Amino acid sequence: MSLYSFILEPITCHAWNKDRSQIAISPNNHEVHIFQKNGTQWTKANELKEHNGRITGIDWAPQSNRIVTCGADRNAYVWTLREGAWKPTLVILRINRAATCVKWSPRENKFAVGSGARLISVCYFEQENDWWVSKHIKKSLRSTVLNLDWHPNNILLAAGSCDFKCRVYSAYIKEVEEKPSPTPWGIKMPFGQLMVEFSSGGSGGWVHGVCFSPSGNKVAWSGHDSTISIADATQGMEMSQLKTVYLPLLSIIFVTENSLVAAGHDCCPLLFSVDDRGVLSFVAKLDMPKQSTQRNMSAMERFHNMDKRALSVQQDTALETLHQNSITQLSIYEGGKDRCRKFCSTGMDGALALWDFKTLESSIEGLCIR
């Protein structure tokens, strides 16, 4: 595990370039800072300044090397590197509320933007007019879209929203791609088609994170009611849900076909797995703090121990986790969804952590990665 502190402000979102030599982060304002890795140090290489509202989403296309950003100013920009400088191109989103998240499609010929306008803008480049235009997905959406993820086939799009639902849509755009082949999620896929809708169940909660598995046959999502859910299209859309004892999880990623990592307000990445029956279960915490003599003490014993040494309660404020505040986003750093070797987390403490998943896999007793 490696921990880096770039800034004092919270990191609300981040994105890596293809070779992981640069990272784009937003320090909870209207700017994007691009840091370059030099050995073990990170130095600021560029700043992207075009938004006039807080940036809510960043994604970096690995092949085309284009960055897309969106923000509370209801705008999105596609940034292209020309002669050492990043040049923005405005995207015609046609929304009247803040944009909340953005994601390039796997083939990088389009991207999707979620918003508070109860719709998803699927954007593509229009060669004739030399600009980025959008089509809207609105069906069944009743509240703000908080997170998006693309299916490996470049057509299907998973969306988590504040109406306690996870949905899978068709984002097929005939102007830029061929007619899609049938999938376990459905056969007919005209643009905006709602393929399936899942409810958080129980008391419900905002769907903060959503992610397709490497094969695209499963989709997982995390709710504000501290639940993790997963559904399998090859098993008749059968859903498994796990109510955790942890605080709400804000981000979720697959690290193998049947294992996923989630993190949020507990400041610690958690590992979950799915068995052959499709049942979701908790495996382990991936942040293993150093052993402390204080950890197994009762509250009274800890108080007496501090009283003997004339210490005040206020002095013991550091968390035992690597992050000292909520984790806002997870991303794959090395490998892929099918076999992740390292993943990255950024948080409200302004820190970035790199987690060696292969080392964690072998060090946690009884850990079973499928």
Q: What gap in Å lies between CA 74 and CA 76, rounded to an integer?
A: 7
Structure tokens at 100: 């909340």
> For 364, which DSSP code?
S
Q: What is the pLDDT of residue 20?
A: 95
CA distances from 350 to 3, 52, 100 (A): 11, 21, 20
Q: What gap in Å lies between CA 169 and CA 285, rounded to an integer?
A: 33
Chain length of the chain: 370
Round the average pLDDT of the chain to a whole number and report it.
Answer: 90
Q: What is the pLDDT of residue 359?
A: 80
CA distances from 360 to 243, 263, 291, 341 (A): 24, 16, 16, 10
Q: Quick one: which of 89, 93, 190 has its CA closest to 133?
A: 93
Residue located via tokens 């959503």: 210
Tell me the pLDDT tens digit for each residue of 88-118: 999 999 999 999 999 999 999 999 999 999 9
Residues 328, 146, 271, 330, Cα dihedral to 10°: -40
Q: What gap in Å lies between CA 78 and CA 173, rounded to an integer?
A: 19
Q: Which residues contact 187 (CB under 8 A, 6 or more apart)?
A: none
Contact 69, 60 (CB under 8 A): no
**Angle at Cα 157 formed by Cα 152 and Cα 163, nearest 5°?**
145
Q: What gap in Å lies between CA 186 and CA 353, rounded to an integer?
A: 38
- Looking from the CA of 299 toward its CB, the CA atoms found within 13 Å total 0
Tell me the pLDDT tens digit for each residue of 145-160: 999 999 999 999 999 9
Q: Report the range out of 3-7, 125-129, 186-190 with the highest average pLDDT.
A: 186-190
Q: How confident is the model at residue 291 (pLDDT cuts 50, 70, 90)?
A: very low
Average pLDDT over residues 64-86: 96
Average pLDDT over residues 123-139: 93
Residue located via tokens 């082949």: 181
Q: How confident is the model at residue 143 (pLDDT cuts 50, 70, 90)?
A: very high
Q: What is the pLDDT of residue 302?
A: 57
Q: What gap in Å lies between CA 337 and CA 357, rounded to an integer?
A: 12
Residue 132 has pLDDT above 80, yes or no: yes
Average pLDDT over residues 230-245: 94
Domains along the chain with CATH numbers: 2-290+323-363 (2.130.10.10), 291-321 (no CATH)
Q: What is the pLDDT of residue 370?
A: 46
Q: What is the pLDDT of residue 316?
A: 56
Residue 164 has pLDDT above 80, yes or no: yes
Contact 116, 100 (CB under 8 A): yes
Q: Where are the alpha helices (DSSP H) in the chain?
A: 299-308, 357-363
Q: What is the pLDDT of residue 311?
A: 53
